Amino acid sequence: MKIYISGGCKNGKSTAAEDLAIRLSGDHKRYYVATMIPYDDEDHKRVEKHVNNRAGKGFETIECGRGIEKIMGEDSEKATYLIDSVTALLLNEMFADDYNGEADPEAAGRCKTGLKAIGDQAENVVYVSDYIYSDAVRYDEFTENYRQMLAEVDCFMAAECDVVLEYVSGIAVFHKGKGLL
């Protein structure tokens, strides 16, 4: 099963994703794919919080900020993957180590290809993304480009997944597949 979870920051998406991944995995392997590349103290604290929250839940952590399709192992077809988050993955793909001031226009395509490859191979995947593109504020071109690419990836993944959830104030709103869970 493929599940896509989106919503605003600090709405319970990661906790819900962990619970779903545990439920789906049964006795099989479960992987937590951490896509954030921490750059400052705030990032490191956020990573530490997520690590502490999933302690003792049976996840094997895979850190992968770019090239997400490389995470697949020999046991992938029976494994459950929790990918947290698509938002960070896209950002990393857009602004690679050789960043020259321009966002990579191929980043959304790479994310879609890699995320789909995981969904095509794994027994179960739970994807987490942040819903950051619906407000009416117009941002600088740089930020608008990122928001547009994230919306593109989110729409693609929603079409690919069996279940699509949006978390609003900690409440799950089903957009697709409610009867499957």
What angle is formed at CA 5 by the lines to CA 8 and CA 133, rounded to 5 degrees?
A: 40
CATH 3.20.20.120 assigned to domain 2-169? The reply is no
pLDDT tens, per residue, the chain with 181 residues? 999 999 988 888 999 999 999 999 999 999 999 999 988 999 899 889 888 888 999 999 999 999 999 998 777 778 999 999 999 999 999 987 666 777 888 999 999 999 999 999 999 999 999 988 877 788 998 889 999 999 999 999 999 999 999 999 899 999 999 999 8
HEC sequence for 91-112:
HHHHCCCCCCCCCCCCHHHHHH
Q: What is the pTM of this model?
A: 0.92
Handedness of CA 120, 123, 129, 133 (dihedral sign): positive
How far is the C-alpha of 104 from the C-alpha of 98, rounded, in Å? Answer: 10
By CB atoms closer than 10 A (0-12, 13-18, 19+), residue 108 is buried
